[in-house]
Amino acid sequence: MEKENIAVGLDIGTTKIVAMIGKKNEYGKLEILGVGKSKSLGVARGVVNNITQTIQSIQQAIQEAENNSGYKIKDVVVGIAGQHIRSIQHTDYISRNNPEEVIDGNDIQLLIDQVNKLAMLPGEEIIHVLPQEFKIDGQSEIKEPIGMYGGRLESSFHVVVGQGASIRNVGRCIQSSGIELSGLTLEPLASADAVLSQEEKEAGVALIDIGGGTTDLAIFKDGIIRHTAVIPFGGNVITDDIKEGCSIIEKQAELLKVKFGSAWPGENKDIEIVSIPGLRGREPKEISLKNLSKIIHARVVEIIDQVFTEVKAYGHEDPRKKLIAGIVLTGGGAQLKHIKQLVEYITGMDTRIGYPNEHLAGNSDEEISSPLYATAVGLVMNSIENNTQSAVRMDAIEQPKAPVYRQPVVQAPVVEYSKAPVQDETLNTNEKQNSTVNKIQKNFFDRYYDKFKDFLDNAE
């Protein structure tokens, strides 16, 4: 009761911004304490293009989450996506001076430092360095090298790269909204945490997150991330097609897509017609549902084809790389009627819709377990893993403020408040040092985050 590990995730999407506050309950499930949602203004295809509007949207979502939960948000883990994201496979090695000594964290750190020296395109920065398998003196498929002997330590890495300016713009928006940034995570990785089981990751699975502005892909095999990609098309492009094809306004096109849209044209009969109110006293417009689904079908086929090209680029057709668990669809676009059947028809792979309810507590709101919130749930889980204390009770904030008028008492609460995070951090570091994967991610993130914070401070 003294120390609640409250985590906050912020999903900055093209159509919506979601702030989610949660904690682990006694059964290890995620209990959602509050959700704030606002229309995303100033974001196009996952990239901030209007700082002022994005700040307002973030503040609105944060405020709503705080009001719903009774907690004051201090910092957030934010999801990074957008058309500027790309990934590369890279293999690197180090030769150790003394092969008679066991491999430790410092050797891993040296290997990471070499990966960080990779030459990127102008303006690009490394976001994630995700280890795959290690190799020691030619012995391959080693998942945990710490404690082993060897002279040559080699590893394959999945390196996620993005435009530095786009990432810094997100950081600037969050800082200007009056909160701190505690972590950055690639959105498809957050969605994967929320909707995929460990068995699926072992068997081989492709996660397709169809958002408003982009469609994100993450491929796992043998429990390891193998490929990530961001396709710069999403649900908004379908809405635009309906708007143009039916000569109606965007709001009506979105409603049509959500209420009557289907990705399978054969489902609708020619006589099925929906009437749209005319603008300013004009005659109502009659739209055939068969034509509507033909428009949707054409665009969804294009999006799935592009995703499937990425799946084939990973090597799915190679029997050793086969994705036995098939495809999992999530994100707002996964709610489109008959999209599962269409994906199965195009790819020939087993497909299911991914809901984040496996990790949620039983009493969670039904709306939160929708694919729409998969990324936000994944970001909260990521924040919990990092042992962050991202929010405090509103009533807990007021207690230390009361004695401010009496000089001697002021120091006491300050000491108490500063003590908790320090303990948390030490505990966190000790726990995380046991795992090479966590160590790599943590050490790398610390360095990237420090650099990022310096940039924001100097930009003041």
pLDDT band, very low/low/confident/very high, at 402 (cuts 50, 70, 90):
very low
Question: Between the ranges 81-90, 237-246, 279-288, where is the mean pLDDT highest?
Answer: 237-246
Question: Between the ranges 34-43, 268-277, 410-419, where is the mean pLDDT highest?
Answer: 34-43
**Mean pLDDT score, 410-415:** 38
pLDDT, tens digit (0-9, with 9 covering 90-100), for 25-77: 888 889 999 999 999 988 988 889 999 999 999 999 999 999 999 999 999 99
CA dihedral 155, 156, 160, 163 (to 10 degrees): 70
**What is the pLDDT at residue 405?**
44
pLDDT, tens digit (0-9, with 9 covering 90-100), for 172-221: 999 999 999 988 889 999 999 999 999 999 999 999 999 999 999 999 99
Q: Which H, E and C letters describe the chain, residue by residue?
A: CCCCCCEEEEEECCCEEEEEEEEECCCCCEEEEEEEEEECCCEECCEECCHHHHHHHHHHHHHHHHHHHCEEECEEEEEECCCCCEEEEEEEEEECCCCCCECCHHHHHHHHHHHHCCCCCCCEEEEEEEEEEEEECCEEEECCCCCCECCEEEEEEEEEEEEHHHHHHHHHHHHHCCCEEEEEEEHHHHHHHHHCCHHHHHHCEEEEEECCCCEEEEEEECCEEEEEEEECCCHHHHHHHHHHHHCCCHHHHHHHHHHHCECCHHHCCCCCEEEECCHHHCCCEEEEHHHHHHHHHHHHHHHHHHHHHHHHHHCCCCHHHCCCCCEEEECHHHHCECHHHHHHHHHCCCEEECCHHHCECCCCCHHHHCHHHHHHHHHHHHHHHCCCCCEEEHHHHHHHHHHHHCHHHHHHHHHHHHHHHHHHHHHHHHHHCCCHHHHHHHHHHHHHHHHHHHHHHHCC
CA 155, CA 146: separation in Å to the nearest integer? Answer: 13
**What is the pLDDT at residue 361?**
85
pLDDT, tens digit (0-9, with 9 covering 90-100), for 132-178: 889 999 898 888 899 999 999 999 999 999 999 999 999 999 999 99
**Mean pLDDT score, 300-315:** 94
pLDDT band, very low/low/confident/very high, at 82 (cuts 50, 70, 90):
confident
Does residue 420 or residue 355 have the better pLDDT?
355
